[in-house]
Structure 1
Amino acid sequence: MKKTMFSVLLIFLLFSCAGLKRKAIKNIDVTLESTFFKNQFTGFLVIDPISGDTIYNHNSDKYFTPASNTKIFTLYTALKTLPNRIPTLRYLEQNDTLYFEGSGDPSFLHHYLKDSTGFKFLRNRDNLAFYDGNFVDTKWGPGWSWDDFEWYYSPERNAFPMYGNTILIYDNPEWSASPDYFKDSVITIKNTWNREKDSNIFYFDGETKDSLEIPFITSKKTVKAVLEHSLEKSIHIANKMPKGTKKTLYGIPADSLYVRLMHESDNFIAEQLLVLSSGVLTDTLNTQNARNYILENDLKDLPQEPRWVDGSGLSRYNLFTPQSMVYVLNRLYREIPEERLLTIFPTGGVSGTLKSWYSGNDEPYIFAKSGSLSNNYCLSGYLRTKSGRLLIFSFMNNHFKHSSSEIKQKMESVFETIRDSY
């Protein structure tokens, strides 16, 4: 009798769960087919990585402009190619001279990461010779907006970044600049631009701003000048590295870069991670090397081949599908311990770019990377259901004219439906 009652109860629960899931799918269908989504392009895929089941699929094989969702591919590339501590520079000693070249490490005296490993190493050496011929890439990515040159989110990329390749100007209580090498190049007046387009002349209106972060123009002469000023010693420019085996100096833990990359959606770190990966894979610093390698090897079985042109997603030339995003997220899930993985991703209602969204009230349930450009908003990552299942999703929205807040509200209702039904 007890066995019969248990069987009846189990069947009832199974039918109830199935009914709840069918209702959830219907509710999502109604949302995505509503007039709100009618005049934009939307793709949505949700899978269960354990069972392999597809929970929901809508336009998941179509290409979208991913914005900063591109950083998911950059993260995966870095995790597959870089060591646990970041290579900060490479060097070779000949006679009484230390020859050194950059690795692309973005943390060297970074305003927020503040890594000084390379700085201390060079400060304790004499007769320094800097070589920058290993960087054979452009300062900006293909399709970057030309008028972003003055904004903090668009620093130049190079072999030997310093201070995040930006000047930080702040007024506390008197205005100051970091690196202070540029202090005499700051004009304290209100101006249309924060910087001259073709020179390192900066403008700061201390009456209306507490601080301002502005990219500076990089070159081997700029690197030499800023580094000499910081180290308080002279540096020679080398035309080539001498023959011999170069040694590598390792610096900041890699996860420090990955967390800032994903939580702050740091474009500069994204670009430099591909520079770093290229330097580990080859003798040349070129971001295309890193992208080609990962696509031809670890990601050769992607459902759809992407158009991938930069590390940050600043370029509108990038094209990815929700299926490919979920594929890489699934690889991350299978290859990285869950606790570490979810720490790297922003948490809804708690951290990073998701701090104000997808809170879940009692328990966080969204761990994901957002991507925003004007008229585009994408979110891809992991969703924890009330039953404890961890699902993988990619929700991509392009070409909408609503506000991004309205898009996020609609997405949040969809996520809550899935969370409560599975």
Structure 2
Amino acid sequence: MNRVLDYLKTTPLMGRFFAVVVLSLMLLNCKSSHISKHLKKAVSSNFYENQFTGLMVYNPRTKDTVFNFNGERYFTPASNTKIFTLFTALQYLPEKIPAFKYAIHQDTLIVKGTGDPSFLHPFFKDSTAINFMKNFSAIKLVTNNYNNEKFGPGWAWEDYDTYYSPERSAFPMYGNVLKVSNTTDLKTSPEFLKAQTTYTLMDKRRDFNANNFFYKLTDKDTIEVPFVMDTTMVKQLWDNLLPNKVEIIPYTSANTDKILYSIPSDSLYKRMMQVSDNFLAEQLLILASSTVSDTLDADTIRKSILDNQLKHLKQQPRWVDGSGLSRYNLFTPLSFVQVLEKLYTEIPRKRLFNYFPVGGNIGTLKNWYGSDKGPYIYAKSGTVGNNYCLSGYLLTSSGEVLIFSFMNNHYTTSSTKVKEQMQLIFEYLRDHY
């Protein structure tokens, strides 16, 4: 080092500049090599011996791959899939969510759904659409413009009555779930469905193919149970809202070229990402399809985004739903890093990071990856049985932003132990890069 300093003192200014650049690159390479060796040792430890693990870490400023372990292998991503859904929504949707498409014929409103999940949703509490519809004496609602199944491919059939698995539809209402609580008596939202709700000792919350709901005698909290969104249920919901006003029709030749907008799109993205809301994720792909066709088709929009905006991906994923509920989904860590880099490049950092759960602070990461020095992990988690993945952004103590995808499949230990090992690696990167 003394020889280097002596050289710098006796070398002309331009020579010193190049010498400093070369020295900086040498130190950076040495540092990167040390970090890579440490991470390789960590992911090769006995803990990871009986599971399938992939980790890729990338510096978007220098365009350097900091570490790559199975980055090109395919994994079950679970809710990491929502990162691709977020990217798709940002490509297709405007600043406000399209509530529905419509045409007006005298005093009749003709409506086609766009898949907007915020209509009467208990979290968003938006009344834009219903207030607009109240102004008409007759409403014709088109119901056959949705081209997908109510459940995604590969979803677990026994989850039909769970809060995280509502049916997909063209015109969702109340988040397509019934809310039930018990104080001195059963309370439901929508209220009229109380007549179809009873106490039970069984574990199931609803009949398999019918809107008969059950609240366990041992329950203390408010529960959410998905509707069966058949024609009868849709008619019941609308008659309760706007009695004798809404007629459900299968087809109309009317050109519904006007659009009513509801909530800011960012509020929907944030909710979807931070609490990992499967229903919002599924409906976002349907919404995106509404911007290119009157026929709602999430399959078509996924194919379009992969064939166009994401055609550069080195490993094209097998992508079958918006939420990641399906185990048919297959993605590589590299694909997540590539999409996260596109988001980081195209979206202002403050806005982008606001979508994500924050380690030790907000959303699904509230109880993990925290720091006394402040947040350093902004990432989307994904969990299904024996699988846990996390992809997003890591802020280092030196001020760098690293993009990472850490995917763990097929472990038989607890998810808590997997997260503990991941946290050690994240803290090392934070403190040493």
Same fold (TM over 0.5): yes
1:393 is aligned to 404
What residue is the counterpart of 2:230 in the other structure? Answer: 219
Structure 2 gap ranges (5+)? none
Tell me what 2:214 maps to: 203
Maintained 8 Å contact 2:56/2:67: yes
CA deviations 1:253-304 (Å, max 9, x no partner) are 0011100110000000000000001111112101111101111110011111
Provide the residue aligned with 1:102 in structure 2. 113
Tell me, in whole angstroms, the C-alpha distance in 1 between the residues paired with 2:289 and 2:21.
Answer: 55
Alignment of 1:312-331 (within 5 A): 312-331=323-342
How many Å separate the matches in 1 of 2:38 and 2:22? 24
Question: Could you tell me which of 9, 21, 29 is aligned with 1:4?
Answer: 9
Kept in 2: contact 1:160–1:223 (CA 8 A): no
Q: Once the 2 structures are TM-superposed, how far is the Cα of residue 16 of structure 1 from its aligned partner?
A: 6.5
Counterpart of 2:416 in 1: which secondary structure?
helix
With 303-312 and 93-102 compared, the bigger mean Cα shift is at 93-102
Runs of 5+ in structure 1 lacking a partner? none
* Equivalent position of 2:295 in the other structure: 284
Equivalences for residues 4-153 of structure 1 within 5 A: 4=9, 19-153=30-164
RMSD: 2.1
1:9 positional shift = 10
3-state SS, counterpart of residue 392 of structure 1? strand
Distance 1:207 1:377, change over 3 A: closer
* AA matched with 2:378: F
1-structure distance, mates of 2:341, 2:22: 32
Contact 1:171 1:206 in 2 (8 A): no
What CA distance in whole angstroms lies between the structure 2 residues aligned with 1:192 and 1:357?
30
Q: Secondary structure at the match of 1:168?
A: strand
Displacement of 1:227 in angstroms is 1.7
Task: Indicate if the aligned counterparts of 1:47 and 1:391 stay in contact, CA closer than 8 A.
Answer: yes
Structure 1 match to 2:348:
337
**8 Å CA contact 1:88, 1:251 repeated in 2:** yes
Worse-superposed segment, 256-265 or 180-189: 180-189
Asked if structure 2 preserves the Cα contact closer than 8 Å seen for 1:21 and 1:421, the reply is no
CA contact (8 A) 2:55 2:70 kept: yes
Structure 1 residue 244: Cα displacement: 2.9
The 3-state SS of whatever aligns with 1:204 is strand
Given candidates 231, 245, 254, the residue that maps to 2:242 is: 231
Aligned mates of 1:341, 1:274 — CA distance in 2: 19
Cα distance in 2 between the residues matched to 1:95 and 1:226:
25
Taking only the aligned residue pairs, the percentage that are identical comes to 47
Structure 2 counterpart SS, 1:188: strand
Tell me the secondary structure at the aligned position of residue 413 of structure 1.
Answer: helix
| Pairs within 5 Å for 1:116-195 | 116-195=127-206
Q: Does residue 297 of structure 1 match 2:331?
A: no
Is 1:243–2:254 an aligned residue pair? yes
Aligned partners of 1:77 and 1:91: how far apart in 2? 24
Q: Is the 8 A contact 2:211 2:228 kept in 1?
A: yes
Partner of 2:368: 357
In the TM superposition, residue 14 of structure 1 has moved relative to its aligned partner by 7.5
Question: What CA deviation, in whole Å up to 9, does each residue of 1:219-272 have, x standing for no partner?
Answer: 233222102202344311223224334211000000111001100000000000
In 2, the alpha carbon distance for the partners of 1:224 and 1:125 equals: 18
Q: Distance in 2 between matches of 1:17 and 1:57?
A: 17
Partners of 1:175 and 1:206 within 8 A in 2: no
| 1:95-153: CA deviation from partner (whole Å, max 9, x where unpaired) | 33211121100000011111221111112221111111111110000000000001000
- 8 Å Cα contact 1:119/1:231 also seen in 2: no
Count of aligned positions: 422
**What secondary structure, in the 3-state scheme, does the structure 1 residue paired with 2:259 have?**
strand
> What secondary structure is seen at the aligned counterpart in 2 of 1:29?
helix
Is residue 382 from structure 1 mapped to residue 393 from structure 2 by the alignment?
A: yes
Report if the CA contact (8 A) 2:54-2:408 is conserved.
yes
Q: Is the 8 A contact 1:326 1:393 kept in 2?
A: yes
Distance 1:58 1:370 in 2: 19
After alignment, is 182-191 or 324-333 more displaced?
182-191
Q: CA deviation at 1:10?
A: 9.9
